[in-house]
Amino acid sequence: MAKFPVEPFKIKVVEPIRPTTRAERVEKLSQAGYNLFAIRAEDVYIDLLTDSGTSAMSDNQWAGIMLGDEAYAGCRNFFNLEETIQAITGFNYFVPTHQGRAAENILFACTVSAGQSVPSNMHFDTTQANVLARGGHPVNMIADVGLDPQIHKPFKGDLDVEKLEAFIQETGPENIPLGMLTVTNNSGGGQPVSMANIRATGEVLHRYGIPFFLDACRYAENAYFIKLRDPDYANTPVLEIAREMFSYADGCTMSAKKDALVNIGGFLAMNDEELYQRVCQELIVREGFPTYGGLAGRDLEAMARGLWEGLDERYLAYRLAHTQYLADRLLEEGIPILEPAGGHAVYLDVKRFLPHIPQSELPGQTLTCALYLEGGIRGVEIGSVMFAYEDPESGETVYPDLELVRLAIPRRVYTQAHLDYVVEVCRALYEKREEIRGLRYVFAPRLLRHFTARFEPLP
Ligand SMILES: Cc1ncc(COP(=O)(O)O)c(C=O)c1O
């Protein structure tokens, strides 16, 4: 038996990647204002910016693309997708959207009023921004273990249910239009949420008449973690686990660019018919007619097929083990990462990697730049640039507890040799970490700062 599950696929199409010289990278980084979102993809050697929309589609999905029915209304691919989503989630209604944040935008447009709060284990940045854009308050209630980067617990994505109940009593259920859980918890290290916590979160919210939605983009990885880590589910098929997860919720937002293995697409699903009617109105204004919702028929077909492939247990076993491989190799080299490994990514623990750089000097962003300079690797900061904010009362900057650099692994794209290269670059950088200096802002937009901010190195 191989130590790690062998890729359950072989490669039929390849895309060349080109290493660059250090001199080239120095120039590109300076031109990009030290923001890796502004670097051209062809100037990146190993691109771990995101696992979103970067999957390699299968021959079956590409075959589905050729069966796209591009009718404006009622295309056959919509019905294939509807059947698939109902079989997996059990929700009564759904609309396609062009990606996850579009589903969030439409859901919050129909539910959140100014001044209301939306609790979650941890909102992802687009979820947080979409709540803020409606004048709402996104509130994170991750259990304390989720904030400790070293403690080994099976479900570090769990929400603190007692905190949630106290918050509802304090705030008043009428001021909470919905509650959410992000599965897995991307902003907190890709850590899974336990079945017990999904159930308990649903129970508390429902006791106060508050609808419960899952941010489900990595629901299949979460379901497989439940199979691996909760003995009660060790022999349960992953589809059944997924169905049970959805059964405690009233709906979900989905970025299909993750566990549905497509390059574009998403959906919003729900049980409430009245909400669905309002969602359709909003969808027609913003995305498109409800049987295509901002996508082509071919995209709907690729999503329907990808949803099933993303639930394949041999694929999921390989997927989680592939990520685990990178984590184990980094740990062998003594490199600090958030433990245990997440499903879709390994997160460098920046507070331990660069302890000499305070959060005011943006150590996470600094480390993303250093990785690019050292080896042409592109990761993403999930720390002070993404989440620090100014306290409205004191005017002081509040920094996030976790300062991370996420190395997200695109699905079915990179081999073990690519990951070995990443480890070598991280090791070389870790050896000279004390030479690394921080950054400061040259430009910082108000919302979703990390995408377009520009920086310069501190003297
Ligand atoms: C947890 C989570 N929610 C929502 C989104 C938004 O999805 P999209 O990029 O498709 O808009 C993402 C994307 O990375 C995510 O990780």
Q: What stretch of H or E contains 391?
A: none
Nearest to 400 by CA among 414, 389, 413: 389
Tell me, using a 6 A CB cutoff, whether residue 101 lines ligand 1: yes
Tell me, using a 6 A CB cutoff, whether residue 121 lines ligand 1: no
* pTM of the predicted protein model: 0.95
Nearest to 85 by CA among 111, 63, 103, 68: 103
Q: Which residues pair with 214 in a beta bridge?
A: 181, 252
Tell me, using a 6 A CB cutoff, whether residue 100 lines ligand 1: yes
Tell me, using a 6 A CB cutoff, whether residue 187 lines ligand 1: no
Helix (H, G, I), strand (E, B) or coil at 396: coil
Q: Which positions ≥6 away from 259 have C-beta within 8 Å?
A: 217, 218, 219, 220, 221, 307, 310
- Nearest residue (by CA) to ligand 1, atom 8, is 100
Taking residue 142's Cβ as centre, other Cβ atoms within 10 Å add up to 24
Pull the structure tokens for residue 123: 């909102």
Tell me, using a 6 A CB cutoff, whether residue 99 lines ligand 1: yes
Q: Which atom of ligand 1 is nearest to the CA of 256?
A: 10
* pLDDT at residue 177 in the model: 98
Contacts 24+ apart (CB under 8 A), 289-294: 289/72, 289/73, 290/95, 290/96, 291/73, 291/74, 291/75, 291/78, 291/96, 292/72, 292/75, 292/78, 292/96, 293/95, 293/96, 293/97, 293/98, 293/267, 294/96, 294/97, 294/98, 294/102
Per-residue pLDDT of the chain (459 residues; tens, 9 = 90+): 567 788 999 999 999 999 999 999 999 999 999 999 999 999 999 999 999 999 999 999 999 999 999 999 999 999 999 999 999 999 999 999 999 999 999 999 999 999 999 999 999 989 999 999 999 999 999 999 999 989 999 999 999 999 999 999 999 999 999 999 999 999 889 999 999 999 999 999 999 999 999 999 999 999 999 999 999 999 999 999 999 999 999 999 999 999 999 999 999 999 999 999 999 999 999 999 999 999 999 999 999 999 999 999 999 999 999 999 999 999 999 999 999 999 999 999 999 999 999 999 999 999 999 999 999 999 999 999 998 988 888 999 999 998 999 999 999 999 999 999 999 999 999 999 999 999 999 999 987 899 999 999 998
* pLDDT at residue 3 in the model: 74
Choose the residue to mutate in 51, 97, 107, 186 for probing ligand 1, maximizing ligand atoms within 8 Å of C-beta.
186
Pull the structure tokens for residue 94: 């759904």
- Nearest residue (by CA) to ligand 1, atom 5, is 100
Largest pairwise CA distance in the chain: 60
Spatial contact of 223 and 188, defined as CB atoms under 8 Å apart: no
Compute the distance from residue 51 Cα to the ligand 1 centre, in Å: 10
Spatial contact of 146 and 156, defined as CB atoms under 8 Å apart: yes
* pLDDT at residue 391 in the model: 87
Taking the C-alpha atoms of residue 425 and residue 415, their distance in angstroms, rounded to an integer, is 16
